[in-house]
Structure 1
Amino acid sequence: MATVAVYIDGFNLYFGMKAKFGRKHLWLDVVELARQLRPNDQVVVVRYFTAIVKNEPAAAQNQQDYLDALSAHNGALFELNLGRFKDRTIRGCYRCGSPYTCICGRPFKSYEEKETDVALGVTMVADAALGLADTTLLISADTDLVPALATVRRVKPQQAIILAMPPGNSRPSRRLTQIGGLGYFSINEPALRRSQLPQTVTDQSTGNTYVRPAKWS
C-alpha cells in the first residue's frame, strides 16, 4: 500500500464542480474524496488551499462554515491553508482614459486571489523533499502549478505524481504533461456523490454545529 499526500486547489475544484453540476456537491468531504480517488492507498494528509471571499457576507459565512465542518469532521487528516483576496484596480480605457462603469453607473470592482498557489506549490515541494508520502496527488488543472510540479520531479525523481482533474477538465494541458511521468484522471460525479459530509457536523471540542446550506442541494 502506497502513501499519498493530497493537495487541493480549492477554487479550481469549486468552479469546476459548480460549472458542471451546480451547487449540489459543494458540501464535499475532501478527505473522503481522496480515499475514493485512491482506494488502495493510505491518505496521510489532505492539504486544502483557498481564500475567504470578499464583500459577499452570506457566501463568506457559508464558506467558513464549510471549512469549519471539514476540520471538525476530519481532525488532523485535514489541513486548511488560507490565502487572501486583494482589491484589484481596473484601469480605465487605454484610449480615452475613462473608467469602466456598469450600466447603472457604478465603477467595476475586482479582487485577486493571493498567496494560495504559491503556498500550495511550496508545501508540495517541501513535503516531497522530506519524504512525507510516496505519492503526490494534486487536485487542480491550473498551469500556474507547473513550476512546483517540475520541482517535485527534480528533487524527488522517484515520486509518483498524479493529477486529479476537477469536473469539466478531461485531460491536463500540454504544459502540465510536458513535465513527464504524470498520471492523471478526471474526477467523476459518482466520486463526488459518495464523498458528501453529513448534513449536520458537530465539533466535539467546541460544541459548534455546522449545517449544509440550503442552496447547496
Structure 2
Amino acid sequence: MGTVAAYIDGFNLYYGMKNKYGRKHMWLDVVELVRQLRPKDTVAAVHYFSAIVKNEPAAAQNQTDYIEAMKLRNGAVLNVHLGRFKDRTIKDCRRCGQSYTCNCGRAYRSYEEKGTDVALGAMMVADAALRIADTTVLVSADTDLAPALATVRKVNPAQRIYLAMPPGNTRASSHLTSIGDLGQFFIREGALRDAQLPNLVADPATGRSYNRPAKWI
C-alpha cells in the first residue's frame, strides 16, 4: 500500500485509444483509470494535460463537457491543465518543392499543441520534490518527457516511477527506459472499459448535466 500521483498526457492517450479502439472508450474517467492501474495504492493526485481543439465547435464542446464531467466526478483529486493550439502552415513538399493546397488554392493549415509537455514535466518534478506521493505514474509514450523523468529520479531517488503505455504501443522507447529503474506496463482495454464515466453526469448544485457524446459510444 502506498500513494500515487499520476500525470496523463491527454492527447497521447486519446490518439492511442482512437487508433486502437475507435471512440468507444473516450468517456474515460482518468482518476478511476489510475485506480484500476494501481488498485493497492491511494490516489493522491491526478494531473490531466490537454488542449481544446480549434475551429471544430462540436468537437470542442464534447471535449469541454468531458472535462467538466470528470472534474465534477472527482473533485480536488483531479487537476486539469489546458495548453493551447498554435496555427501551423504545412511546409512545401520536400520532394517536388510545391506547396500543399486544396482545390480553391488555399494553403493547407494545421494546428500544433503547445505547452502541455513542459507543464507536465514541470509538475511531475515539482511533486516529486515535494513528496506528494511515493509513486509516480506517467501515462504517455512521448520521448520528450525523458528529461523530466530523469530529473524526478535526481530530486527524489527513492521515488517509484512507472510508465503506463497508452494503447497501440508495443514497447516503451529506449529514451524513456534509459532513465533506469522504471516499471512499465501497457494499458489494457479492460482497464479502459471499467473506468468509464456514467453516461450522464449531473451537478445537483447547478442543475447542469453532461452527457456522453453519441459519437463516443
Match of 2:14 in 1: 14
Shift of 1:95: 8.0
Decide whether the 8 Å contact of 2:89 with 2:107 is kept in 1.
Answer: no
**Residues 136-215 of structure 1 correspond to what in structure 2 (within 5 A)?**
136-215=136-215
CA deviation string 1:71-117 (max 9, x = no partner): 01111111100000001132335688653213453320011100000
CA distance in 2, matches of 1:131, 1:73: 26
Identity of matched residues, %: 69
C-alpha RMSD of the superposition = 1.4
Gap runs ≥5 in structure 2: none
CA distance in 2, matches of 1:93, 1:180: 40
Match of 2:216 in 1: 216
Match of 1:49 in 2: 49
CA distance in 1, matches of 2:2, 2:99: 55
Instruction: Report the TM-score, using the length of structure 2 for normalisation.
Output: 0.96
Decide whether the 8 Å contact of 1:170 with 1:185 is kept in 2.
Answer: no
Match of 1:129 in 2: 129
The answer as to 2:80 corresponding to 1:83 is: no
Match of 2:92 in 1: 92
CA distance in 2, matches of 1:208, 1:189: 30
What amino acid maps onto 2:58 in structure 1? Answer: A
Decide whether the 8 Å contact of 1:72 with 1:204 is kept in 2.
Answer: no
Gap runs ≥5 in structure 1: none
CA distance in 2, matches of 1:175, 1:97: 33
SS in 2 for 1:215: helix
| Equivalent residues, number | 217
What amino acid maps onto 1:206 in structure 2? Answer: T
Cα distance change, pair 206–107 in 1 and its aligned pair in 2 (3 A): same
SS in 1 for 2:210: strand
Deviates most, 201-210 or 136-145: 201-210
